Amino acid sequence: MEQKDYLLREIEKIGALMRAIRQRLFGGKKNEASHLETEIENTKDELLRETNFDLNKFLDPDTQYTNEYILSFAGFSIENIELLAEFLSEIGFSDECENPKMFLEKALQLYHLCNAKSRVYSFEREKNMNTINNALQ
């Protein structure tokens, strides 16, 4: 029972953190003094500090390694993996992004992982995957 409570707390913690990060980066007014790359670095630091998730490790091009890496975190449920995919795709689609292909490919990888692990088909996920695939072509 304690293990289940711990897992639920971790899932909620990571979900809340991902939503807060997305809101800070993409919600509301744009701060002219705030550049995307600076915010990405701040996000990397925050994820590492709060959840011990190293975004730099995750951005490694080795798909198998990064799938195993993200699945090793108890708090990354399918919903939280989708939140991370949305976050990475928003960075990739941003005009300020220096390496959009890397972020879009990682977002697509996460959506594929969600499809492999989820028992529920998602039209929204498929739509997001098609949008990313079109951008990468």
Q: What is the pLDDT of residues 104-132, one digit of tens each?
A: 999 999 999 999 999 899 999 999 999 99
pLDDT of residue 32: 40
The answer to whether residues 66 and 58 touch, using CB atoms and an 8 Å cutoff, is yes
pTM of the model: 0.82
Nearest to 76 by CA among 118, 42, 40: 118
The answer to whether residues 67 and 82 touch, using CB atoms and an 8 Å cutoff, is no
- What are the phi and psi torsion angles at 60 (to 5°)? -55, 140
Q: What is the pLDDT of residues 24-77, one digit of tens each?
A: 777 655 554 357 788 888 888 988 998 899 999 999 999 999 999 999 998 889
Nearest to 106 by CA among 47, 65, 70, 58: 58
Return d(Cα 85, Cα 15) in angstroms, integer.
Answer: 12
